[in-house]
Amino acid sequence: MLKTNVVSASSQTEFPKTFKSSSLGSQVNDSVPQFKITNDLKNLLKNIVDTNRTKGAFVVGLVDPNGTQFYGYGNASKANNFTVNQNTIFAIGSNTKVFTAVLLADMVVNGLIKLDDPIESYLPSDVDVPEYRGHKITVEDLATHTSGLPEFPDNYCSEIAGENPQTPNEKIQFQMKFADCAKDYTIDQFYQGLSNTTITREPGTKLEYSTFGSALLGNILLSLSNETSYEDLLKNRILDVLGMNDTRIFLSDEQKSRLAIGHLYGQEPTLFNYSNPIVPGGGLYSSASDMLKFISANIGLMKTKLHDAMQQSHLIRHTSGETMENNIQITSQNSIDSVGFYIGLGWFATTNFGTEIIRHNGATGGGYNAFMAFNPDTERGIIIICSSDMSNANITTAGLYEYNPLSYFVWNLLKG
């Protein structure tokens, strides 16, 4: 059983002294930080959240063979002014995609599906599945974002697709409209959106990040089970195995009492759930405690029947080029020579001179963003979850090895 060390959020410390200026912006020195939630790490995160006065909160958790550590900063919401902790619940957005991919790997290990199966084998006969010059989309293509499918179906919230909000108030109103339309999207509309999609290149040849593809994968996996919902399928095959009792699509009243409300430009937007067809691509809520269980199992610190499936999900299958999670673009200005960016089943990987960091991030329209990563060699893992939109407090780029302090710090922390 992993030990837990909870760190109080009450102490106030000075801004880290490990920054230095360069033509590329501020960054952290190359000295390896201790694998502890130090004042440097706390203040890096506080600075991100406080600079824009987001009113958001964050929880950071670390895990290695010695156990777990947690640190929470900020209040859960206006109504619940308790300091967030490892049991506070946040939306984790696109990190859900990794759970869907591990679910796939588990079903592959158990002989229920094959990665090279064309997806049309698992879809209703009246769905016109797109293909390119006779090349069919496979199950693996969905899990590796190489299907050629766009981020969302064209008919998903189409009534607001043409809007281009500019001001903070316009963006808040846009998210409220999105929350309203996102909950009503049906499986029939989802499959109609697939039938109306045209892909412009051979599947399996290029990464283009796609919530559409991950959601489609989750629905295919559901169709192979006896479960009535993706949440039940995930619960029975992964969450219950790992004891992740606070990781859900739909929260109970008790869990809602521990929810950190999301923030967008300092305001608390309406809480919303994605419609059922989309949830495998981004609908999960979780806590830092639960997420470290997931990281621990992926590292191998927790031995479960999911071990083989998780190891399969880590294997590099494609280069990601310059496209990262949430379609963030890496450019020559903020990438580093000899750093490679790759994709496994759901997971992204960053490599540099033999060091591999396996990671994913997530952001939601409800005012959250999150990041999780681990180094399989040093057996170190990290989770950061934040109740603020990434445009106001960007946690998601911590794994991109950019020229920014948090990214360098996290890389060196996990590198050991």
H runs (alpha helix) in 300-394: 307-314
The answer for 98, left when phi > 0, alpha when psi is -120 to 50, beta otherwise, is alpha
Please name the residue that has the structure tokens 């809480």.
Answer: 271
User: pLDDT band at residue 24, thresholds of 50, 70 and 90?
Assistant: very low
Q: In the block, which residue shows the tokens 């989802």? A: 190
Band of the pLDDT at 319, cuts 50, 70, 90? confident
Both structure tokens of 233: 């399928």
Distance CA 416, CA 411 (A): 9
User: What would the pLDDT profile of 214-230 be if each residue is shown by its tens digit?
Assistant: 999 999 999 999 999 99
Element (H, E) at 174: helix 168-182
Mean pLDDT of all residues in 313-322: 87
- Quote the pLDDT of residue 135: 97
Choice between 95 and 53, residue whose per-residue pLDDT is larger: 95
Please compute the mean of the pLDDT values over residues 243-260 and round it to a whole number: 97
Please tell me the least confidently modeled range out of 18-22, 121-125, 302-306. Answer: 18-22
274 has a pLDDT exceeding 90: no
pLDDT average, residue stretch 29-34: 61
SS3 state of residue 221: helix
Give me the residue label for tokens 């999911």.
306
Lowest mean pLDDT among 124-138, 257-271, 371-385: 257-271
Q: What percent of the chain has pLDDT over 90?
A: 67
In the predicted structure, residue 184 carries a pLDDT above the cut 80: yes
In this prediction the pTM is 0.90
Torsion from C-alpha of 228, 230, 234, 235, nearest 10 degrees: -50
Question: What pLDDT, on a 0 to 100 scale, did the predictor assign at position 369?
Answer: 94
Closest C-alpha among 14, 17, 47, 31 to residue 411: 31
Q: CA–CA separation, 140 vs 260, rounded Å?
A: 35
Residue 89 contacts residue 289 (beta carbons within 8 Å): no
Band (pLDDT 50/70/90 cuts) for residue 176 is confident
Given pLDDT bands bounded at 50, 70 and 90, which one contains residue 378?
very high
**Domain formed by 4-415, architecture:** 3-Layer(aba) Sandwich (3.40)
> What integer best gives the mean pLDDT of the chain?
87
Q: Please give the pLDDT value at position 3.
A: 41
Of residues 31 and 359, more confidence is placed in 359
Whether residue 332 has pLDDT greater than 60 = no
Instruction: Provide mean pLDDT across the span 136-163.
Output: 93
